[in-house]
Amino acid sequence: MVLCDCTKFRLKYSGFRRRTAGNGIVRGARSVPGRNESISNRGDRVKLSTKGKYGLRAFIDLAVCGEEEPVSLNSIAQRQEISVSYLEQLMAKLKKAGLVKSVRGINGGYQVAKPVEEISVGDVLRALEGDLTPVECAGIDGSGKTSCSGSSQCVSKIVWKRINDSINDTVNSIYIGELVKESKRQTENSKTEV
């Protein structure tokens, strides 16, 4: 079995630690397998950046509260506890991707640009984060051209492809419309419990 050295992990870590042979604990954000490096098992895990986490929260808030009229960034910021300046950056990315539209004027703000039933979580996250592929491998890039000499014999690329496909399939199968309905249901339940 050949393990090619071309696989690079593009994992977004928060507080990521890796051990390197003889060097103790080193802080870093990338690991190249095959060089005595491994993720410590102290609960380290792949994470989205705050752009993805806060941006998705803000987008769902916008979808819930902006069905009939535009929603101001101040109101989203207040409900979601996100700074207005950070929301401006997130909304600019979402607007560029065609997921939100801005409305000017005294009652202006933002609205979702198309039906929430047509927008997946993957659409939102890709607009905010870029490519969601956590493992970059020359053997699975799909172009047929690879700079990796061991790609034709490498079987680990099957694992990386499945991980990539699984993540993308999951976020592409969850639609904002479902999350809006769930948010409204939870709000109703919390009102009846009081």
Q: Does 97 share its domain with 162? A: yes
Q: What is the CATH number of the domain that holds 67?
A: 1.10.10.10
Q: Are 74 and 82 in contact (CB under 8 A)?
A: no
Q: Does 155 share its domain with 78? A: yes
Q: Does 174 share its domain with 125? A: yes
165 is written with which tokens? Answer: 């496909």
User: 194 in a domain, yes or no?
Assistant: no
Q: Does 107 share its domain with 28? A: no
Q: Does 166 share its domain with 123? A: yes
User: 38 in a domain, yes or no?
Assistant: yes
User: 71 in a domain, yes or no?
Assistant: yes
d(CA 118, CA 57): 17
Residue 85 φ/ψ, nearest 5 degrees: -65, -35
Q: Does 93 share its domain with 169? A: yes
pLDDT in tens, 51-60: 999 999 999 9
The most distant pair of C-alpha atoms in the chain lies apart, rounded to whole Å, by 66
Q: Domain range holding 7?
A: 1-47
pLDDT by residue for the chain (194 residues), tens only, comes to 333 343 333 333 333 333 334 433 333 333 333 333 333 333 444 568 899 999 999 999 999 999 889 999 999 999 999 999 999 999 999 999 999 999 999 889 999 999 999 999 999 999 999 988 877 776 766 555 556 777 777 888 888 889 889 999 999 999 999 999 999 999 888 888 76
173, 177, 178, 181 alpha-carbon torsion, rounded to 10°: 180
User: 57 in a domain, yes or no?
Assistant: yes
Q: Does 148 share its domain with 70? A: yes
Q: Does 18 share its domain with 77? A: no
CA 159 to chain centre: 20
- Within 10 angstroms of residue 171's Cβ, the number of other Cβ atoms is 18
Q: Does 86 share its domain with 181? A: yes
d(CA 23, CA 20): 5
Q: Does 154 share its domain with 164? A: yes
Q: Does 68 share its domain with 92? A: yes
186 is written with which tokens? Answer: 């939870």
Q: Which pLDDT does position 131 carry in this prediction?
A: 87
- What's the total number of domains in the chain? 2
User: 109 in a domain, yes or no?
Assistant: yes
97 is written with which tokens? Answer: 């991707």
- Quote the Cα angle for 169-171-175, to 5°: 115
Specify the 3-state DSSP secondary structure of 131.
coil
Q: Does 88 share its domain with 38? A: no
User: 108 in a domain, yes or no?
Assistant: yes
